Amino acid sequence: MKSIYLLCALGLLAGVAAVNGQTTNTADKSSPAAPAYADPSQLTEKAPDTFKAQFDTTKGKFTIEVTRSLAPNGADRFYNLVKSGYFTDIAFFRVVPGFMCQFGISGDPAISAKWRDANIPDDPVKGSNTRGTITFATAGPNTRTTQLFINFADNTGLDAQGFSPFGKVIDGMDVVDKINSEYGDGPPNGAGPDQSLIQMEGNAYLKKDFPNLDYIKSATILPADK
Query: What is the SS3 assignment for 213?
Result: coil
Which residues make beta-bridge pairs with 94? Answer: 102
- Please compute the mean of the pLDDT values over residues 176-200 and round it to a whole number: 97
CATH for 45-221 is 2.40.100.10
Residue 142: what pLDDT? 97
Give the span between the Cα atoms of 158 and 128, in whole angstroms. Answer: 8
Residue 28: what pLDDT? 45
pLDDT band at 125 (very low <50, low <70, confident <90, very high): very high
Residue 33: what pLDDT? 83
C-alpha to C-alpha distances, 160 to 1, 57, 71, 136, 155, nearest whole angstrom:
11, 31, 15, 14, 11
Residue 120: what pLDDT? 98
**Does position 25 have pLDDT exceeding 50, yes or no?**
no
In tens, the pLDDT along 87-96 reads: 999 999 999 9
